[in-house]
Amino acid sequence: MLTLCGFPVSNYYNKVKLALLEKEVPFNEEVVTLPISDEAALQASPLGKVPFLRTPEGSLCESQAIMEFIESAYPEPPLLPADPFAAAKVRELITFIELHLELVARELYGQAFFGGTVSEATQARVRRQLEKNIPAFKKLAKFSPYAAGELFTQADCAAFASLPLVGMATRAVFGEDLLLVAGIDYKPYIRLIGERPSAKKVLADRKAYQAKPAA
């Protein structure tokens, strides 16, 4: 049996959880919070990040590596197109969502979500970067109706988990949602994905986790 380790507020955890639920793969969840100090967990995820996956063959970290494992081990229903070029386009989009949008916006989270402050220099750098990367993402994303086109793919797992964070963080720090400013009307798309049973479970589990008093 697979065990997904992390916590249900993490966007990367929820990306993988969506894929497992879409494929109806049986899995357990183990809450692992940050910072990770447990030596066995650090063995599984040496950078101390979540998610990581325990499998009967050993553990795996890095959400995209986990997604690729799940896709190969449980091919149905596919979350990547069979055509190699179309599959590469999905992976390209995931890289834009995570590396060029989410990871850049992540520098704002301390101020946006955790009551911290981000220096003006960092804010300016992040804004410049996002003002370059968001229009680039817009050129690739289809939203017709899914992120990469007509099929629900891994890119939707990534987009559903990460785009709202980019929007919320930029709105909180800059006073405007830079995705919307760039003309990416992602909210109807998020609502569409949110109708899927997999996404409903991810959202319900996140809400329940957030409602729990801190241990």
Ligand X SMILES: N[C@@H](CCC(=O)N[C@@H](CS)C(=O)NCC(=O)O)C(=O)O
For ligand X, the binding residues (CB under 6 A) are 10-12, 34, 48-50, 62-64
Distance CA 135, CA 133 (A): 6
Shortest distance, position 19 Cβ to ligand X, whole Å: 12
Q: Of 4 and 141, which has the nearer Cβ to ligand X?
A: 4
Shortest distance, position 158 Cβ to ligand X, whole Å: 9
Shortest distance, position 179 Cβ to ligand X, whole Å: 19
Helices 154-174 and 84-95 pack at an angle, to 10 degrees, of 20
Are the CB atoms for 15 and 157 separated by under 8 Å?
yes
Instruction: Give the rounded distance of the alpha carbon of 28 from its chain centre.
Output: 19
Parallel/antiparallel/unpaired status of strands 27-31 and 2-6 = parallel
Distance CA 155, CA 90 (A): 6
Are the CB atoms for 119 and 63 separated by under 8 Å?
no
Shortest distance, position 48 Cβ to ligand X, whole Å: 5
Q: Of 62 and 192, which has the nearer Cβ to ligand X?
A: 62
Q: HSE (CB half, 13 Å, CA atoms) of 46?
A: 0
Shortest distance, position 84 Cβ to ligand X, whole Å: 23
Q: Of 11 and 153, which has the nearer Cβ to ligand X?
A: 11
Q: Of 55 and 64, which has the nearer Cβ to ligand X?
A: 64
Amino acid (1-letter code) at residue 74: Y
Q: Of 32 and 178, which has the nearer Cβ to ligand X?
A: 32
